[in-house]
Amino acid sequence: MTTDSQFQSGRRRFIGGAAAGAFLLAMPWPRQAFAAEAGREAEFTTAWLRIGADNKVTVITPTAEIGQGTSTGHCQIVADELGANWNDIGFELAPVADAYKNPLFGMQVTGASVGLWSFMSILRNAAAAARTNLVATAARQWGVEPGSCVARNGEVVHPASGRSVTFGAAAADAARLPLPQAPILKDPKDFTLMGRPVPRLDIPAKTRGEAIYAIDFKMPGMLYAAVMKCPVFGGKVVRIDDKAARAMPGVRAVLPIPAGVAVVAEHFWQAQTALQKLDVTWDFGPNATLDGSELRKTFRSALERRGAELAPKGDVDAAFKGAYKVLTATYEWPFLAHATMEPMTANASYRDGKCDAWVGTQRPDLFRDELAKVLGLAPQDVTVHNLYAGGGFGRRQHTDSVIQAALLSKALQTPVKVIWTRAEDMQHGHYRPAGAAYVRGALDKKGKLIAFENRIATGSPQKVQYAATMTDGIDVASTASAVPPYEIPNRRIVYNLTEVAVPVGMWRSVGASHNAFVVETFVDELAAAAGTDPLEFRRAMLPAQSRERKILDLVAAKAGWGRPLPKGHFHGIALDHKPRASIVGMVAEISLSAKDALIVHRLVCVADPGQVVNPNACMAQFQGAIIWGLAAALYGEISVKGGRVAQSNFHDYRMVTMADVPSIEVEIHLSGADHEGTGESTAGAVAPSLANAIFAAAGKRLRALPLSLSRRGGV
Amino acid sequence: MPILNINGRNMSVDAPGDTPLLWALRDHLGLTGTKFGCGIAFCGACTVHVDGKPVRSCSFALSGAVGHAITTIEGIGATPIGAKLQAAWVSGQVPQCGYCQSGMIMAAAGLLQASPSPSDADISQGITNICRCGTYTRVRAAIHQAAKA
């Protein structure tokens, strides 16, 4: 049995070797480094792994490394199934190729919290096939039955005779055998890496400032571009007076980009300084007067449309007619920016009818195809190199910055790096859609919820980004968590796809970030109307053996629900199950200051992802998504005025910082059900648990995000 | 040409004195561990030390750094506090995307220099850096661990 401390010390040895000039496996672009070193060619190569003569195993991870840690998880899967020595494992981010399409979506996309488990079967089979051939090679050399040999710790061993051969020594011959199509997989009870808190492979470099992100990438002759798009959505450039900018030191060019202008200089600071010297005349277009109140009206009036219905059940109208008590409410939420810590950044080099791009991307295939289109090249003439990304959260599924870099590189025939300023990043996002919901609940005489209706009006990232995958006019991301996780005999969930001029996109947890707020705050309203304890009201709607009820009971016990709290402290509870993400129960403990300011003391959470590959990495995701949800609940708001985003940086698009962070207590409950995602799941329950605690404290229902006792929220 | 003392080495920088130290480090000297986040000294991703004190280098002119000892994430591991913090960061599995973590570690090193055994309140007050992945709980634990090491 390998211990955690062995993992750590072993890993340190390996990184030590890399630093000493072997090769940089843990870096995301070692393909070049690998090939560049003579004699370092891999002996055994498939789409998913390479084995070198030196025993090093490189795993090709098909998802982006945006901080979620799937690269290490994929390595655990491959190493375990292969029987590799963990000290020999490194990874590379996949290039663009059909093999790396996510099997759920048929495209190369990192999103929806599925990156780890959706490749489980593919990676296990790939590793098992390699193991089969390594074993067959060794068995043939020894003249023994393959079944009498085992692969473990980076070697094939024949226990009966005590003979062994390293993977590296067997790799070249193993590569000459045809790959078995249906290799025999290991019994999960023999796994020594999966399910264990293996330290992440990317973390040591990230503590030393050595990890290379797109913003850090360099190549000879590279120029730097600062860009400015029309501040109003849908506007364009009429005229640019660039005389003053061109006279600035280091400036090489002032060039148009789609809906904007770029200054290209020898250094980024020169480019950014010169950009401010431009005198641009804009045509603000049709959205020049668009503002928040108009947008709010648009969403509110869309609630009255017929819409598309999802997951209908029972006879809702009859149930409402026969109800003892009916409750209605309207909820609202604003646009939100991703605000990745690394602002949008891209590098491109266009030369001789070919283009290379170095980016951190959640859609390498789309990046390649869109670059080919805009450059007039064949897709095979575009190569996308994926690097570590300084946060993704859905934002790096969009091609805007890489297209700018490629157009500039083509115009100047030299490599160009585009870096967006924070203001550019915040004002030209693809925002979590704003929207509104009208909810209605029917209680019978005993206070039981007999009918529930949820009418949502909001934007559709799926239509914008993945139109071909939409059916029946329903955006599965925008409607995530819109169906309550309870057994309610009659329900109607209606989606009114509402398009406005503000660009929208996928945003960590997407629809759960507002739907869980609406559903779980309104369920709390119904509990109050029924005169029932919020926990008991929910429990009564969940089957005794259900995973959801288990999670509710566990989180209630962990938080001490119903037990006395310190004076002035109050609890609020929420349950959420975003499809394909974990089941999450959350209890918030809050108090209110004398001036009605919200003080969050504890967020207690129990999450059931079914199973995990790396419990510590999953824990980090649960903790992180709580912070994500907390920032949105407390402060998150992108507002629109004059057709443009009013916020420009972190001083007015406020983030949670250390001083805001309550005690976050997460427990992972492994029910053994199929794997579910962890990256987004805990985000949705934060706002409703807080809103419900605020109601307990102040008797006031907050139905708009961000939560504020002192003002009205909304778009 | 301004000469900077960075991580114990003198380096000449071919950039005007009003260039922010951040861009001198990144673009001119190739020290890319220090990150650009906001450009207004708000998020702390660009934190370096000038004479041992944390400074947000996006808003600190190169000319102001001349004649002072500058330490970046590439050099902080050579100090006892920096080494302890980096070890605590690894054992506590702190970073996620990692982009803000250079600045976090530099801010934490500044905090521990001023306050070797910080309380939770000291950490809340002293670490004002922004992390979008949400690593705060682990940052706090790692600072405590490094302080005890």
The 10s digit of each residue's pLDDT in A477-495 is 999 999 999 999 999 999 9
Residue A712 within a domain = no
How many of the other CB atoms lie within 10 Å of CB of B127? 24
* CATH number of the domain encompassing residue A589: 3.30.365.10
Chain B residue with the nearest C-alpha to that of A270: B19
Interface test mutation site (partner A, options B38, B86, B101, max chain A beta carbons within 10 A): B38
When CB atoms are compared, the residue of B31, B73, B127 closest to A658 is: B127
* A693 touches A535 (CB < 8 A): no
pLDDT at A34 over 50: no
Last residue of a domain, one of A374, A399, A419: A419
What is the pLDDT at residue A41? 64
Q: Classify residue A353: in a domain, yes or no.
A: yes
A362 and chain B in contact, CB less than 8 A: no
- How many CA within 13 A on the CB side of residue B66? 14
Mean pLDDT of chain A: 93
Would you call A354 an interface residue with chain B, using a CB distance cutoff of 8 Å? no
pLDDT at A9 over 60: no
Is A706 an interface residue toward B (CB < 8 Å)? Answer: no
Q: Is A390 on the interface with B (CB under 8 A)?
A: yes
Q: Do A623 and B137 touch (CB under 8 A)?
A: yes
Whether the Cβ atoms of residue A391 and residue A338 lie closer than 8 Å to each other: yes
> Are A144 and A234 contained in the same domain?
no
Give the residue-averaged pLDDT of A70-92.
97
Helices (H) and strands (E) in chain A, counts: 19, 27
Amino acid letter, residue B104 = M
∠ CA B137-B140-B141, nearest 5°, is 85
Closest CB to B102 among A8, A209, A664: A209
Q: How many CA atoms lie within 13 A of A314 on its CB side?
A: 16
Is the same domain home to A501 and A640?
Answer: yes
Q: Are residues A73 and A166 in the same domain?
A: yes
pLDDT of residue A42: 79
Residue A217's pLDDT is 97
d(Cα A625, Cα A28) in Å, to the nearest integer? Answer: 25
Residues of chain B with pLDDT under 50: none
In a domain, A709, yes or no: no
Same domain, A550 and A637: yes
Identify the helix (H) or strand (E) that includes residue A626. Answer: helix A615-634
Q: Which of A68, A208, A393 sits opposite B86 (nearest CB)?
A: A208
What's the average model confidence in pLDDT over A271-299? 98
Q: In chain B, which residue's Cα lies nearest the Cα of A209?
A: B33
Contacting A residues, span 245-284, partner chain B, CB-CB under 8 Å? 249, 267-269
Residue B9 β-bridge partners: B6
Percent of the residues in chain B that have a pLDDT greater than 90, as a whole number: 99
Min Cα separation B71/chain A (Å):
13
The reply to whether A666 and A532 lie within a common domain is yes
- Chain A nearest-CA distance from B37, in A, is 6
**Contact list, B136 vs chain A (CB under 8 Å):** 627, 656-658, 661
pLDDT per position as a tens digit, A556-613? 999 999 999 999 999 999 999 999 999 999 999 999 998 889 999 999 999 999 999 9
Dist CA A229 CA A398 (whole Å): 15
Q: What is the pLDDT of residue A356?
A: 98
A463-466, Cβ contacts within 8 angstroms, sequence gap of 24 or more: A463/A497, A463/A499, A464/A430, A464/A503, A464/A504, A464/A505, A465/A397, A465/A398, A465/A505, A465/A506, A466/A105
DSSP A24-62: -TTSS-HHHHHHHSTT--EEEE-SSEEEETT--EEEEE-
Is residue A314 scored above 50 in pLDDT? Answer: yes
Inform me whether the pLDDT recorded for A79 exceeds 50: yes
| Residue A199 and residue A178 in one domain | yes
CA dihedral A46, A50, A53, A55 (to 10 degrees): -130
Give the distance between the most distant pair of CA atoms in chain B.
44
- DSSP three-state, residue A481: coil
- As a whole number, mean pLDDT of residues A238-253 equals 98
> Which of B94, B79, B89, B101 shows the shortest CA–CA distance to B33?
B101
Do A120 and A226 fall into the same domain?
A: no
pLDDT range class, residue A712, cuts 50, 70, 90: low
- In chain A, residues with a C-beta closer than 8 Å to the C-beta of B28 are 267
**Residue numbers in B near A391 (CB within 8 A):** 97, 99, 132-133
Pair of tokens at residue A247? 């006279």
Tell me whether residue A93 is in a domain.
yes
Overall domain count for chain A: 3
Domain that holds residue A185: 4-207
Q: Where do runs of H (alpha helix) occur along A502-564?
A: 512-530, 534-539, 547-559
pLDDT at position A154 over 70: yes
Residue A677 sits in the same domain as residue A640 = yes
- Domain identity same for A62 and A114: yes
Give the chain A residue whose CA is nearest to the CA of B120: A659
The domain boundary residue, chosen from A158, A180, A207:
A207
Cα A626 from Cα A505, distance rounded (Å): 20
Give the nearest chain B residue to A630 (CA atoms). B134
Q: Is residue A462 part of a domain?
A: yes
Which domains can be identified in chain B, with CATH numbers? Answer: 3-75 (3.10.20.30), 77-148 (1.10.150.120)
Sort out which chain A residues have CB atoms less than 8 A from B20's CB and list them.
269
Split at pLDDT 50, 70, 90, the class of A710 is: confident
Give the three-state DSSP class for A625: helix
User: Closest-CA residue in chain B for A387?
Assistant: B97
Residue A703 lies in a domain: no
Read off the pLDDT of residues A164-220 as tens digits, 9 standing for 90 and up. 999 999 999 999 999 999 999 999 999 999 999 999 999 999 999 999 999 999 999
What dihedral do alpha carbons A258, A264, A268, A274 form, nearest 10°?
-90
Interface test with B, best of A344, A630, A658 (most B CBs within 10 A): A658
Q: What is the DSSP letter of A212?
A: P
Report DSSP letters for A274-327, one per residue: HHTT-EEEEE-GGGTT--HHHHHHHHHHHTTS--EEEEEES-HHHHHHT-SEEE
Contact (CB, 8 A) for A54 and A166 = no
Is the pLDDT at A22 greater than 70, yes or no? no
| Amino acid identity for residue A365 in this structure | D
Q: How many CB atoms lie within 10 A of CB A257?
A: 21
Backbone dihedral region of A55: left (phi > 0), alpha (psi from -120 to 50 degrees) or beta? left
What's the average model confidence in pLDDT over A511-531? 98
The residue among B21, B33, B45, B40 whose CA lies nearest residue B128 is: B45
**Does the structure show a pLDDT above 70 at A33?**
no
Q: Average of pLDDT values for A363-390?
A: 98
**Rounded Cα–Cα distance for residues A581 and A576 (Å):** 9
| Residue A189 and residue A57 share a domain | yes
Q: Among B133, B136, B144, which would you mutate to test the A interface (most chain A Cβ atoms within 10 Å of its Cβ)? A: B133
Q: Measure the CA–CA gap between A668 and A611, rounded to whole angstroms.
A: 10
- H or E element, residue B49: strand B47-50
CA-nearest residue to B88 within chain A is: A207
Q: Residue A185 domain-assigned?
A: yes
Kindly identify which residue of chain A lies nearest to residue B48, measuring between CA atoms. A209
Domain edge (last residue) among A163, A190, A207: A207
| pLDDT above 70: residue A6 | no
Strands in A15-170 per DSSP E: 42-45, 49-52, 57-61, 89-93, 150-152, 155-158, 163-166
Shared-domain flag, residues A83 and A223: no
Nearest C-alpha neighbor of A484 from the set A434, A548, A555:
A548
CA distances from A559 to A544, A546, A620, A664 (A): 21, 20, 20, 11
Q: Residue A626 and residue A604: Cα distance in Å, rounded?
A: 10
| Residue A605 lies inside a defined structural domain of this protein | yes
Same domain, yes or no, for A187 and A314?
Answer: no
pLDDT of residue A711: 66
- What is the per-residue pLDDT for B10? 97
